[in-house]
Chain A
Amino acid sequence: MTLISILDAATTVTRSPFFNPMAFGVDDNSTICALSTPPGSGGIAVIRVSGPAAFRCTRSLCPFLPANPESHRVYFGTARELRGADAIDDVLVACFATGRSFTGEETAEINCHGSPVLTASLLKELVEAGCRPARPGEFTFRAFMNGRIDLVQAEGVLSLIESQSKSAARAALRQLKGRLSAELSKIEDGLVWILAQLEASIDFSTEGIEVMSSEAVCDRIQDVITSCDRLLDSYRQGRLFAEGLRIALVGRPNVGKSSLLNALVQEDRAIVTAIPGTTRDLVEGRIMVQGIPVTVVDTAGLRETGDEVERIGIERARQALEKADLVFHVIESSRVLLDEEKADIAALVALPGNDGADRHCILINKIDAADGDAVAARLRELAAVGVTKQTAKIFEVSARTRHGLEELEELLATKVRADVSEMSEVVMQTRHFEGLQKIHSCAARALALITKDESAEFIAFELQDAIRAIHELLGKEFNEQVIDRIFKEFCIGK
């Protein structure tokens, strides 16, 4: 349908050269090799070799490989230098025949010990044997070109490479295995079924066939809408997997936001001074909570200022506040609350649902330097504007003594757990989100048209548009499936 637009979308969404075919050689029959595990030291490392000469090249440094290795079999032996035949490492080589590997090409995977020195010398030997180092994403590109994976799966691989957490990796893996594709195919099946009913009612209206009632059609469209809703909901979660939770620290200058950031991430990320306005731009720190990356953003203190740089910093702070999943309003335990502070907090906490108390927490900081009366006074001041421990989450913390930080971490864990449900399909990419939104709105319009008793061709148009959106997501062409379905389901014949 609009493959070009798919390609356009893919190139804009992804940062890697994966969908920019020009990044890869044309008419390229070379055999490529690359380290497939993360660089650095680890238990083991895997080097992947793919292409028509994969076995031959691998055999030149792993002479223990037979001339025609069996597919899906692992061979053990010693890898040696081409010249001098010095041993490099004891390795396991997994062999995959053409048509039976991830890329669809002849592939060997060399498992060696995870040392950068070892992998570098193995790669050097492979290049000497005739391989070329693979470009980023090239294995996936070849898999796509050889028809081994569809577009959604290809993007899954990308997410997998780019994912920053274990959960994200799992979600990406599910996508790779085609679970999201399968989910989309299910929606498509539903749409094709409805479309077949409509088209039969149009093209075979004189044949006296019984087409499904409009109630039944409505029900099926409603099913599609529900599925879309579920997937769309998972996008927020998908984003959580890929990007993690974002927490913004906001408050007046010098209430100790930077110290809190440093305490939370347990390293000195922000410059801490006693001078108000020290943090002028955003400073980020990252911690892992139950496999999910949590980014803590320290913002410039919110205040009116004449300093241009600080003013920009404050503007950025406001944006960070809007994007954050959780906002920590930091106040000082030993200082009387300013009117603006009270107004800000009261207004934000009072917002409904996820915009309000669910998202905004109040941190009474520097608890170590204050006595109980001071804290009680702060709580009274908050209560006076309607913010109490019943209506909002209020924590007493100390960046210096780490008092109350455990409670905060527990809050983060709860938030993460609430957002992560292992069972559901996760929509990871903006492209999918937008596609699903389109499917959703087409289905909703179709439903409205049926209710208004509009003619079938317009309802069909909406459904075709939705199917087109699915095909764009899956990179599939529209074939004669509707007509085939009609003949399967109806007795038609003049």
Chain B
Amino acid sequence: MAASHSLFDVVVIGAGHAGIEACLASARSGLKTLMITTNLDRIGFMSCNPSIGGLAKGHMVREVDAMGGEIGRAADETCIQFKRLNSRKGPAVRGSRAQCDKDLYSDYMAKRLFSQPNLEVRRGEVRSLFLRGTGCEGVVLEDGAVVPARAVIVTTGTFMRGVMHIGLERRAGGRVGDEATVGISDQLAEFGFTVRRLKTGTPPRLHKDSIDWSKTIEQFGDETFYPFSLRSDRRLKLPQVSCWLSHTNEKTHEIIRRNLDKSPMFAGHIEGIGPRYCPSIEDKVTRFAEKAGHQTFLEPEGLQTESVYLQGISTSLPVEVQCEFLRTIPGLENVKVLRAGYAVEYDFIEPTQIRHSLETRVIENLFLAGQINGTSGYEEAAAQGFVAGVNAARKLRGEEPLILGRDEAYIGVLIDDLVTKGTIEPYRMFTSRAEHRLVLREDNTLERLQDRAIDLGLLPTETFERLRVIRKARAELRQKLRDTVLVPNAETQSRLHELNTAVLQKPTTAEELLRRPELSSFEVMRFLRIDSRVIFEDPSVFESVEIDVKYAGYVARQNEIIEQAKRLENLRLPADLPYADVRGLSHEEIEKLTKVRPVSLGQAQRISGVNPSAIQAILVYLKGRSFERLKVRELEIEPG
């Protein structure tokens, strides 16, 4: 068998955000891992916006970190502005975002990779996968050399048959400065995979000295830093910078409209579907013609670089048109464009062809992660890379794959959505995609994933020790709130009065007091004369307790819904279920179910185009079958 001759257990193609996590997870699992990339200078490169996290994305960064991934630490280390989005909204929808120094970020990741035991990083171009029968047994390099491996993870991002568009010009490439990859997607298509096109775009980069900052509005970062990683220091390493806000106007829009015929999108040069949540400025101006202005944030890409990222203005108009309309934006009257915006089209593999483990359904030991699965975003990529790396290792060791539930992590929602529904546009995570959002919070990430992390064993023991300390602190604080009883004496009442809240009618615990929506935990703590240093030492301890107490009712209701949903999730479907024989299914339903091969009735229900009557029909079929064969148990596997 080839495996015994392999120098490597796992080969990872690509050194982007998915590739990095895949390599590290695999190598940290103890497997000999090889990373192959076309460009050693662009490891963990931020091809688009220079930030990590954001709404729902911040959640995933914390989740990857909690199980032993690297993205959170890299973001913490290289953060030059930290913000917690939706900080004034409720606990489930707050999202951490770190703007990073993109060069330092790349450096950090490169260092991690090069110092990782069991991991080798090589420059090279993979021409094709080395397939034998229906198994993947390595890769073939451009010179024809075969690198044998027991499993292969493909994380090629936008590079597969990548085509860049600026105006009506187009050329092959996955990113400015990097060549496209050919071969793998053709090979997969030949193998019967459905390969389709997506499109994404990036805005122009501007020279910081050519911007008149006085005409823009300064945007500061937050005072409090909530590091993504349990392993990071609470103090920021780098000096913090501001971002700057400006707006487009009618003049800008007029120039764009006048030049629409030169846009590759409007001229019909682009077949790939772009993301609706990240439309180009051409799109915005056309589709929302009534809007007089669109906001744009000017974000420095690092401490040393002159490059400024123009968030919100992704465009693929010709360079001279870009320059013309940019100059109508306040602050950019004399702007110097370092690099024009462009659109890129690339191949992706319809993700309903992979399993929850991210292994492809038809080729064994071949895993796909990141944009190749139709997603967009560093965080989405990192999450998949981590899962693919872990699962390649687990597969080779004969262990069950890591499959996170939709009620367990945003990563679970991400992967289940991809393999169940597929995607027609670049898939980005939103909090609204998680039906159990109230229990998937940033503050309870550690609790949610602690058991998984222990099971995976990728984190050093001291991290678990730290985790234990945090959980203990939380439990103690919780207990203190329960044990402290306030009596309605004159002093208590007058202090409550000062805080604009009702006086006590009877002795009341601090916990009950905290349930009053008008009181923050900070106020209650002061009330209890708890040293405020306790609060600032680790705000997360404090906050998670507050959330626990204040929103207990909603969390309980959410948990009830989760329990209900589990009834269908626990109805497992046999992998060989002959849907064509199930009476009452439409042709469309048979086709979709056969393609997706849902593992549970719950997953079957989430396939779009599969109607509830179909779910009932399957249930009827299975019950009939199990009665026939007296195998009722088939339907009752895996409680909880």
Contact = CB atoms under 8 A, between A and B. Distances in A.
A457 B438 contact: yes
Contacts of A288: none
A27 B93 contact: no
B612 A151 contact: yes
Interface stretch (A168-176, A334-342, A354-362, A471-479): A471-479
Contacts of B421: 480
Nearest to B612: A475
A480 B568 CA distance: 19
B567 A4 contact: yes
Contact of B277 (A4, A7, A492): A492
B83 to A, nearest CB: 9
B49 A494 contact: yes
A21 interface: yes
A199 interface: yes
Contacts of B91: 455
A487 B564 CA distance: 30
Given A26-B621, A203-B55, A457 B613 contact: no
A456 B89 contact: yes
Given A493-B278, A494-B312, A477 B612 contact: yes
Interface in A446-477: 452, 454-458, 460-461, 464-465, 468, 475-477
Contacts of B615: 3
Contacts of B86: 202, 205
Contacts of B312: 493-494
B133 interface: no
Contacts of B608: 479-480
A27 B92 CA distance: 46
A455 B93 contact: yes
Contacts of A477: 605-606, 610-612
Contacts of B586: 147
Nearest to B88: A455
A3 B623 CA distance: 16
A4 B284 CA distance: 44
A343 interface: no
Nearest to B589: A147
A98 to B, nearest CB: 12
B435 A22 contact: no
A216 interface: no
B401 interface: no
Interface in B50-81: 54-56
A493 B437 contact: no
Nearest to B564: A2
Nearest to B425: A487
Contact of B584 (A6, A145, A494): A145
Contacts of A475: 612-613
Interface stretch (B224-232, B286-294, B458-466): B286-294
Contacts of A204: 277
Interface stretch (B142-150, B426-434, B443-451): B426-434
Contact of A461 (B54, B554, B610): B554
A145 B621 CA distance: 12
Nearest to A145: B584
Contacts of A460: 432, 437
A119 B190 CA distance: 61
Interface string A475-491: 11111101100110001
B467 interface: no
Contact of A494 (B311, B619, B623): B311
Contacts of B89: 202, 205, 455-457
A308 interface: no
A28 interface: yes
B558 interface: yes
Contacts of B616: 3, 7, 21, 144-145
Contacts of B294: 208, 491, 493
Contacts of B606: 477
Given A27-B624, A151-B612, A478 B568 contact: no
B567 A487 contact: no
A145 B567 contact: no
B90 interface: yes
A363 to B, nearest CB: 51
Contacts of B357: none
B581 A27 contact: yes
B405 to A, nearest CB: 16
B583 interface: yes
A199 B605 contact: no
A319 interface: no
A213 interface: no
Nearest to B203: A494
B568 A2 contact: yes
A151 B616 CA distance: 11
B612 A476 contact: yes
B620 interface: yes
B613 A205 contact: no
A68 interface: no
B176 interface: no
Nearest to A28: B583
B278 A494 contact: yes
A145 B49 contact: no
A1 interface: yes
Interface in B468-504: none
6 contacts: A1-B564, A29-B583, A144-B616, A202-B432, A461-B437, A492-B277
The 3 closest A-B pairs by CB, nearest first: A455-B90, A26-B624, A145-B584
Interface of B: 49, 54-56, 85-86, 89-93, 276-280, 283-284, 287-288, 291, 294-295, 311-312, 314, 421, 430-433, 435, 437-438, 517, 551, 554, 557-558, 561, 564-565, 567-568, 581, 583-584, 586, 605-606, 608, 610-617, 619-621, 623-625
Given A456-B89, A457-B90, A460-B437, 17 more contacts: A1-B605, A5-B567, A21-B616, A24-B620, A27-B583, A145-B584, A146-B584, A457-B89, A457-B92, A458-B90, A458-B438, A480-B608, A482-B432, A483-B432, A491-B291, A492-B279, A494-B277
